A and B are shown apart, each in its own frame.
Chain A
């Protein structure tokens, strides 16, 4: 088994293999964060439009109560993570590289942690597929792997596309993170129940759970839990970053590569994270919306690393206060070290997509000063999508963004493999992120210009129409006046006769 996995890794022609740093944090028993006094629940924790608040300041809320409803087709509902009073609807620093503020509902906890009347479903497998998707949407579930795309939308579109396979992502290829590993060890049965519900919602006939080989305990737990479900199968995949990318996991499990402009649903498979499956189980079987999540607290600056159940909206400072800090961390990261977001400070809330909080020491980061590219092509070998990062970066550096697009910039996952291996420490992935954002901004400007042209034309048309109508009205009035005059004339003539 071990030998096979070893050879399998050799066969993976892409990606990198950083030291995973997952243990000992992964082996520490799961803990629960003590309830903070205040929770800052952002309205935008998902891809799409921000949710619209449905509570006012001063209102009493219960745990699991809807506090902001989904707005528009791509959006997700937000629920109160504990019982208490809505203190305000204010602003808090977003867990985003910009460090800009975002709107959040601030809830003052009353310490009771009292659930709203939830309606657990006695026979969830009798629910029709649409009803399962509706309940998942109502529970505000988003992809917990980090992409935070509303889960119900994904399930509904997969149902429409008539997929045959549901792929569960238990790879957790990011170093340091072990929350999915821990969840699979602790709640394997619940995850499998969630998987079966998702299979019902999508109409998939089989489910494959992809787990990296470096998690033997999770593999054993999931194998035991799937023993009685022949349609659900655990597949061990080589530990290689970024195995958790949905396209790469699909290729690994299905033996097919995905064309650049295709999604996995086009090829009959839907990829979801195991954490999402657990949230689905909680939502349908227990009636509990997504108000807390398991996350990894790790890094050399953390005194007691491990996995914690944290309510959504808890501040990063609350989490680190509980886990303990050994001195001042050199860098704070939300998510994994490869694709995570560097935080400006600790007054940032935990959101649905927060898989980990890292407090890294200076030794872990290392000091890197970029030098010139030596064209060694290490990045080319590492790139999991087969791009030429050095060529793209050179063009972006020269401001030729469209030339970088010709080299396949749009297919870049921003996984950071190229930056990880670059011996010259060139911040390659930052160039790509910059270029992607800049291109999106230009596309927006272009759309705006188009809209302006349309509006200007509409105004011109309106002015012409109004002038015409005015002229017509004047002509009509004149005709009426003439007719009136003629009638008057005639009647006076008749009177004289």
Chain B
């Protein structure tokens, strides 16, 4: 009997010890993954909407949970990383209230219309995130949607009082530590041991998405005079960026500087084809007849008078054909002829002169922005079926980013990126070439376990419904790139994520 008891006790003891099915090498045990020479215990991410996890034209909780810094922080946690806090919004509706009045739109969702066609629509509902109800900052994620480089060092950028006038930022106003705080000082106050900085996108993006409606401020060193759609002077950028790197490296043992992608490869600029106006032969003939004198008399006359060059005259020729045509557009980089055309020998009425003042037909070097899809080819005045946008009504300047305007954007971006790369090198930080990475997505696509991540609008998987900001999958791809770069630089073994596990656009009918 005694032996029997011994046997049973022995069996039970062994049973309990072996209760869990333990791996020889557990991935969730300390030391399986290592952060190498980087100290990830206090990671702080600084940047704009991309860092915040903005998507579908709004900031909302699930988007924030899938921000690249949060995805990275979850993986950092497997290699000794610490807690990562974010200024989470109050809901998944998106949108913001300022003292009860909505000041930012709800998120976009993919809805199917009566004809069965899917397309982006704004989610219905009232947002519950109130700007005046402060979240207690600072947070590890200091991404502020809308912020340009110089905003991060601007005192008062988070002052609620300035939100309605546009002097300050509604997102930062939620969690700025004081009315006079700066984003970068709030971030530095967390004494980060590791940081990432991705800023400068908005310094060119506002200009680009507005179809170049803003001003290239290169040469103007006073950012307080800039409009929201202007291009930031590269020296202003360099000075602000350098100050941010200094502030963040004061306590950090390492960090990542991320450069500015080519904004013209995002779906916002690549989805609407520039050649988009279908006309039959008869209609094309009628339209061309109207521009006959203009093409053959007016333009050569202006060249003869020395008002425009012969190259510009050639670019301004209007010629429709049977088939799919390039739309007529307003191009503010053309010589403004509206006054001259009212004088002799042309003597055109002010309306016609205004119409022709900066008119040309688009060409393959122009980019038509996503919102143009809802106006191009429409007849805004139902009583005038001949008033077609892109034919008799030129597409407004804000809908087209011309080659000249693209040149300004890429010149500024190249300058910013040179600064970023030089500072990364000077401070011995990781330089992440997001520009090359996005170019890869846009050109060949990036393979993942069940397909290809591309920049195609809605179906490509990389970009959310606003055509500018990534999807969770796009952010996960970004996080993987950064993790890979960190592993290389700091001899770390932080695991990457499977981007196939991250979603893309959200389908919902209102």
Same complex origin of A and B: no
